[in-house]
Amino acid sequence: MHTKIEDIKKTESKPKVIKSLFSKEEIQKFMELYNKLPVTVHNKKQNVIKKRWLINYNKHLEDLFCETLKNEIGDFKMDNLVTEEGNEIYGLFQESYNPIGLHIDGGFNFEDQIYKQTLIPLTPVGSTIIFKNRFYGNSTNFTIDKKELEFKKLNYGQNKRSSDHIGMFGDKPFDAEIHKNYLAHENIDNLVGLEVELIYQWEVGSMLIFDRSNLHCSSSVIEGKKIGLTTFTKK
């Protein structure tokens, strides 16, 4: 678990959606950047393509993003992985054809004071589910799938697999209607004790900001594909 949990809790707040934050032209610049960046991961099993936003690849967008985010959350440091060559990255573009399961993005260094993470939709169709429930470990995929739980050989930057959340938040059954409408890709037994804080309907030009301790996942509502930019911060 993180060593600075009390400090982390002092900076926590409810998820926040800022609408009409980026213009059509600025979103187009993000898309142009996405198209130019090399593919980092093409996971055919999950049907997802990931590209790292490399620092100094587009200085104008870096300045725009940092100034915009500082206006919303105050002082912060970026907390992203580095490339194999040791170069820092700003965030991660993801092109998804299937929903991403329940997880947290707590990072990989327990000495860090994790802070906020952001999501910028670059395509219009999609939604993200933020839960009230929190976890103060490292980046983790939560599952009760036995095959997934057997996966132990992790590469750099990969989330561990865990079922530690089961029983942690009580045994109240998850809302069946929300499961049917938004989370059909998740085994409902994997959601026991969880309570939804926000269902964020993707809107191009907006940005979602939420705490890195929040459990969250994609919704099952995807038409074709969706592309989003995720970044992570710390204090």
Q: How confident is the model at residue 195 (pLDDT cuts 50, 70, 90)?
A: very high
- Per-residue pLDDT reduced to its tens digit, 143-180: 999 999 998 788 777 899 999 999 999 999 999 999 99
Q: What is the pLDDT of residue 2?
A: 95
- Tokens representing 75 are 């002082």
**CA-wise closest residue to 213 among 90, 109, 70, 116:** 116
Q: pTM of the entire structure?
A: 0.93
- Tokens representing 154 are 């992790």
Q: For residues 135 and 8, give the distance between their C-alpha atoms in angstroms, rounded to a whole number.
A: 11
Q: For residues 74 and 112, give the distance between their C-alpha atoms in angstroms, rounded to a whole number.
A: 17
Domain 5-234 has CATH 2.60.40.1180: no
CA dihedral angle for residue 195, residue 201, residue 206, residue 208, rounded to 10 degrees? 20
Please count the other Cβ atoms lying within 10 Å of the Cβ belonging to residue 209.
18
- Tokens representing 84 are 């194999």
**CA-wise closest residue to 129 among 75, 32, 195:** 195
Would you call 46 exposed, middle or buried from its count of C-beta atoms within 10 A (0-12, 13-18, 19+)? middle
Which segments of the chain does DSSP mark as H helices, in order?
5-10, 24-36, 59-73, 146-149, 176-182
The domain limits of the chain are 5-234
**CA-wise closest residue to 110 among 68, 75, 138, 132:** 138
Q: What is the pLDDT of residue 44?
A: 52
Q: What is the pLDDT of residue 39?
A: 87
Residues 6+ apart with CB under 8 A from 235: 7, 11, 75, 76, 77, 113, 115
Q: Which helix (H) or strand (E) holds 228?
A: strand 226-234
Q: For residues 206 and 202, give the distance between their C-alpha atoms in angstroms, rounded to a whole number.
A: 8
Mean pLDDT in residue range 93-119? 95
